Amino acid sequence: MIVKCTVAYDGWAYAGWQKQENALGIQEIIESALEKIHKKPTSIVASGRTDAKVHALGQVFHFESDGKIQPISYVRALNSLLPLDIRIQKAEKAEDDFHARFSCRSKRYLYIATRNQKDPFACRTKGILYQDLNVEQMLDACQFLIGTHDFTTFSSSRIDPRKSRIKTIKMISIEKRGQDYYFSFEGNGFLRYQVRMMTGTLIEVGKQTIAPLDVQKMLDLKDKEACRYNASPQGLYLMEVCY
């Protein structure tokens, strides 16, 4: 039986989703809990990795089960073993051909930045701003990112060169709420660092250090060196994975 799980986590204390040799990843913690439940090693596959200090409300992973435990029972069983900053939200039986990564049709991310430097919790949950942003200018710049493009400019240099840099951004919205700015992104997939680099660039537009048209020029260059902006990781949340 294929079990599909939705998990939320505070990524501040972790080196990202992926299991690593010299650091603690969220995948390793969940697999250790499943090993205690199943009495044998159990591998999980996620919709994709999140980087160190990045959070999630709707990350999805799957694993194979012998069917002795009902999917809904995994919620209580796993949460009894997991730390309080990693919480299983839902577990359900999936189709036999379901794959958390390859069956994914779109993802939605949220980035929160704040002007409230007096908030002692913001350093773990939001990007910190030191000036107000021009939302209208940022929205103008968003139009150059929406659609199907080669996002090489807004990606990590460590991505396998054989991997396509072409992605489709369906929606970008920016909203100011009090002292906070909410950046929402929805697309069919995202390259490593893509959301953070797009956010960092839009913030520079909002600060009016670059113009909206500069975003188009950077995108057209298809050059990793064309963008040096990268928003801090703690403001980023994987909100939803759609299948």
Does the active-site annotation cover 51?
A: yes
Residues forming a β-bridge with 237: 55, 110
CATH of the domain at 8: 3.30.70.580
pLDDT above 80 (res 235)? yes
What confidence tens digit (pLDDT) does each residue in 9-39 have? 999 999 999 998 899 999 999 999 999 999 9
What is the total count of domains within the chain?
Answer: 2
- Note down the domain range covering 230: 106-242
Same-domain check for residues 127 and 213? yes
Q: What is the pTM of this model?
A: 0.95
User: Is residue 100 a part of any domain in this protein?
Assistant: no
- Asked which of 86-95, 157-166, 192-201 is least confident by mean pLDDT, the reply is 157-166
Taking residues 203-223, report their average pLDDT.
Answer: 97
Selected catalytic residue, list 10, 51, 97, 160: 51
Binding residues for substrate: 109
Mean pLDDT of the chain: 96
Cα diameter, the chain? 59
> Considering 94, 116, 141, which residue would you say is the last residue of a domain?
94
Give the separation between CA 72 and CA 104, rounded to whole angstroms. 22
Residues flagged as binding site: 109
**Is the per-residue pLDDT at 161 higher than 80?**
no
| pLDDT higher than threshold 90 for residue 197 | yes
* Domain final residue, candidates 44, 61, 94: 94
Query: Does residue 113 fall inside a structural domain?
Result: yes
Are 181 and 114 in contact by the 8 Å Cβ rule? The answer is yes
Binned at pLDDT 50, 70 and 90, residue 156 comes out as confident
